[in-house]
């Protein structure tokens, strides 16, 4: 532990300051990244493939050097801290357990390197196996475990030396959907119990929303938005984030007058005007092009006599049964298709292709974003 005087400073565990990483003259993998990670939080770097997530993690782990800027752990530049003193546990997609060693030997390895006495090693190996719910498999070899079990051992090995910081890069990428979802909850649960700082990398937005305290959305080497999951979903600040996180209808138009956090938007085609929420960060004014973001589950099919602040007439193109919801695709003349997700079971009127419907939604459920 380092000496700290101010609580505010001690709350920051990891700090990237204006960090850039170039690979040769052509690739700028990370651009001017500035990010504070708080002690004990679960922070996820989320973004498409090639957006710089792994590079950011590798620089923090010390496997790559920043081209510019600095990285601090506990207020100290990492390049002055030897790799084995950084207290970082790591898990990667390809779990890379030592195949010729037993599970117990794999787990003991980080402790042997740290010269932990033998009796304590035995005790800690058993404790960590209990934690990942694999009690008793210590004498097996990795190839005698399933993929999910191997990945749990990889998580256990990253945690056994009690790191204060854990980095995970797409650790569940190789697992099938059901196991991946189960492991998401298990890793989140381990994080809650240990209270150490986790920095997690994924390209899977559902995984990020499920697991994280905060999410940094990466695109082309820089952070587009840093928010908690609800804010990211409810109040995306850019068109990129709105489309990357969850499903989204995008309506193009031109901004009209703004008032009290709302803005009117004249949709392309020139006949339909809607009211949208205007994000605080938006700088564009009347006359500027904009994209309106509208989540499919926030659109209602209006029954006769019902009204909403925003309404459109549409013709049903198709209705798809998805079990827990119905997925309706409706064509709006001059605008294009709008996707609607209707919860299955409660008062959905019978809909068939060709039927005319009125769609409606609240002003707070659609966001105007800079185009
Ligand atoms: N060792 C390397 N040499 C050259 N280019 C690299 C290297 N590693 C990554 N890149 C490039 O840097 C960019 C970011 O890669 P990466 O950090 O792996 O993204 P992500 O993890 O988000 O998929 C990509 O364009 C990738 O091709
Ligand atoms: Mg990667």
Where does CATH 3.40.50.300 sit in the chain? 12-239
**Which phi and psi angles does 243 have, rounded to 5°?**
-85, -25
Q: Is the CB of 293 under 6 A from ligand 1?
A: no
**Per-residue confidence (pLDDT) for residue 73, from 0 to 100:** 93
Could you confirm whether domain 247-370 is CATH 3.40.50.80? no
Distances, alpha carbon 202 to alpha carbons 56, 184, 241, in Å: 13, 11, 15
Residue closest by Cα to atom 5 of ligand 1: 23
3 vs 10: CA distance, rounded Å: 9
**Per-residue confidence (pLDDT) for residue 8, from 0 to 100:** 55
- pLDDT tens, residue by residue, 230-284: 999 999 988 899 989 988 999 999 999 999 899 999 999 888 999 999 988 888 8
Identify the CATH class of 12-239. alpha beta
Atom of ligand 1 nearest to the CA of 49: 23
Where does CATH 2.40.50.100 sit in the chain? 247-370
Q: Is the CB of 65 under 6 A from ligand 1?
A: no
**Structure tokens that stand for 34 in this block:** 């500035």
Which residues of the chain, if any, have pLDDT below 50? 1-6
Q: Which residues surround ligand 2, an ion (CB under 5 A)?
A: 54
- Ligand at minimal distance from the CA of 59 is 1
Residue closest by Cα to atom 26 of ligand 1: 50
- pLDDT tens, residue by residue, 55-73: 999 999 988 999 999 999 9
pTM of the model: 0.88
Residue with tokens 């695109």, as numbered in its chain? 219
């Amino acid at each position: 532990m380092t000496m700290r005087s101010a609580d505010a400073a001690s709350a920051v565990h990891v700090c990237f300051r204006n960090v850039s990483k170039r690979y040769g003259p052509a690739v700028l993998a990370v651009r001017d990244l500035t990010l504070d990670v708080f002690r004990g939080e679960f922070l996820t770097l989320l973004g498409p493939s090639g957006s710089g997530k792994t590079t950011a993690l590798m620089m923090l782990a010390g496997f790559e050097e920043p081209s510019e800027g600095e990285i601090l752990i506990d207020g100290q530049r990492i390049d002055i801290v030897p790799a084995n003193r950084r207290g970082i546990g790591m898990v990667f997609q390809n779990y890379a357990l030592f195949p010729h060693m037993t599970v117990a030997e794999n787990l003991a390895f980080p402790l042997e390197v740290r010269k932990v006495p033998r009796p304590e090693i035995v005790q800690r190996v058993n404790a960590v196996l209990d934690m990942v719910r694999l009690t008793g498999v210590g004498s097996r070899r990795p190839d005698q475990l399933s993929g999910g079990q191997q990945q749990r051992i990889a998580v256990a090995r990253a945690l056994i030396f009690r790191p204060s910081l854990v980095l995970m890069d797409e650790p569940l990428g190789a697992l099938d959907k059901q196991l991946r979802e189960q492991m998401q909850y298990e890793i989140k649960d381990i994080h809650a119990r240990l209270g150490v700082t986790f920095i997690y990398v994924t390209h899977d937005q559902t995984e990020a929303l499920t697991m994280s305290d905060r999410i940094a959305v990466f695109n082309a080497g820089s952070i587009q938005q840093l928010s908690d999951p609800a804010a990211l979903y409810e109040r995306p600040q850019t068109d990129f984030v709105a489309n990357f996180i969850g499903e989204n209808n995008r309506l193009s138009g031109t901004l009209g007058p703004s008032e009290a956090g709302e803005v009117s938007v004249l949709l392309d085609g020139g006949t339909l005007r809607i009211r949208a929420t205007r994000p605080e960060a938006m700088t564009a004014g009347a006359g500027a092009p904009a994209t309106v973001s509208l989540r499919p589950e926030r659109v209602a099919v209006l029954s006769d006599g019902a009204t909403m602040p925003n309404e459109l007439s549409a013709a049903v193109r198709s209705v798809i049964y998805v079990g827990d919801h119905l997925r309706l695709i409706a064509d709006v003349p001059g605008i294009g298709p709008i996707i609607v997700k209707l919860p299955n079971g409660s008062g959905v009127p019978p809909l068939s292709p060709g039927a005319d419907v009125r769609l409606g939604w609240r002003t707070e459920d659609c966001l105007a974003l800079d185009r």
